[in-house]
Amino acid sequence: MSEAGLQRLSLVVACAAALAAGITLGLQGPLQEETGAVMSAKARTSAPANAGADARDWDARSPRNEARLERRVIAKCDDESLWAWLLVPTDELGTLDIVIDELIDRKRWDALQHLMVMEKSTERDGALRHVYGRLAEKDPWKAYELWQENGDTLGSNSDIAFHYMIQAAAAVSAERLIEVLGEAWKNEKAYTADPKYPPDFDFRKLLDFLSKHDDRTMSGSDSALFEWAKRSPVAAAEWFRSSQSWDSTDPADQVQLYRTVALTSLEESHMGSTLSNISADLDHLDIWATIALSSQGKPDPSLLRSARIVGGENRYLERTLAETRFKETLDPSWKEIPKAERMRAKAAVEEAWRKEIVGPTHDRARARWAEMVNRAWDD
């Protein structure tokens, strides 16, 4: 190890040694002012009966309490020790997070500047990534300005930060989000985000942009299409059908889009054609049976309404009821469906079950299920 590395390590060891005494004293009475480092208190389970108020309330088995104590102790470390801590390999990620939080509280954005001028190393890059991400969570636009000035230095260590920048940009406009994505993609990474779009967001502009850059995507970009479908189902479905990239869409996403539209209150005169725009190439899928797989055995009134419009109500009800085969009770919402439709669905489930699985055990299970359904529908 280099002389500088040994010096850094000695600081950490000294800090940890001081903490060993500090934690012990902290469990025997109020936390000592002179405590100057951090180590785990996982081995401690309770304080002596004559301990101070802090210790009597302490349960070291609680991750929350352990983190609180570690933070109070880390606050006693000097800056040099904390910087050294970041540059020593460790598996104690929870403690490392607390060290980063402490440095940010002390130095704010200067903490990032300090790391940017440090000698590059795996540990330095890891610390830079987490500090930049934590600061971006607090102020994504300042983080974006810093990226524009220091992108070469920050490089691929900016992925956490861009998560928050993308969220912030989506909350402004499609234009702003496209701008930020263009910067993010300079690292040739996909970015995960769960943005909240404003009421006037231009989904068409964003999706046009994303469809032309399908090799560099924002993970979660399908959520933009789904959100648009909730707000403007006809426009979203028409865009989807006319888009150059629709034919390469994952069938699961296509079914999700279909389901999203089916859940809306779109008037009947438009619902059928809108759903057809989405499902035209899904003939190989039993789409209403597929949608029912996520029903947990509870029929949804909006989905059933849409299924009736396109003639899929029987498959939807059959497969939704099939999801109850190993349940103890039926959801009361089944009673809202006409009894003739319910009984038709029950007969279809029993027949399919009889053909799919043969044997005395399954015969008994089928009989138990039929009895449970009859009891629930005894009206």
- Does 208 fall in a domain? no
DSSP helix/strand/coil, 219: strand
Cα–Cα distance for residue pair 370/350, rounded to 1 Å: 8
Most confident of 102-111, 159-168, 285-294, 315-324: 315-324
- Does 21 fall in a domain? yes
| Residues contacting 280, CB < 8 A, separation 6+ | 241
- Does 38 fall in a domain? yes
| Residues contacting 112, CB < 8 A, separation 6+ | 128, 131, 132, 135, 146
Reported pTM: 0.73
Question: Structurally, how many domains does the chain consist of?
Answer: 1
Position 312 pLDDT exceeds 90: yes
242 to 236, 277, 278: CA distances (angstroms): 10, 9, 10
| Domain carrying residue 85 | 1-107
Percent of the chain with pLDDT strictly greater than 90: 41
Do residues 201 and 222 touch, judged by C-beta distance below 8 A?
no
Q: Tell me how crowded residue 211 is: count the other CB atoms within 10 A of its CB.
A: 16
The reported pLDDT for the residue numbered 44 is 35
- Does 16 fall in a domain? yes
The reported pLDDT for the residue numbered 107 is 86
The reported pLDDT for the residue numbered 18 is 47
- Does 87 fall in a domain? yes
- Does 101 fall in a domain? yes
* 19-23, 43-47, 266-270, 353-357: least confident range: 43-47
Cα–Cα distance for residue pair 208/206, rounded to 1 Å: 5
- Does 130 fall in a domain? no
Nearest to 346 by CA among 366, 332, 329, 360: 366
Q: What is the DSSP letter of 333?
A: G
The reported pLDDT for the residue numbered 333 is 95
CA 264 distance to own-chain centroid: 24
Residues 162-174 pLDDT 10s: 999 999 999 999 9
Cα–Cα distance for residue pair 360/195, rounded to 1 Å: 52
DSSP helix/strand/coil, 1: coil
- Does 30 fall in a domain? yes
* 26-40, 92-106, 236-250, 270-284: least confident range: 26-40
Residues 274-297 pLDDT 10s: 999 888 777 667 899 999 999 999
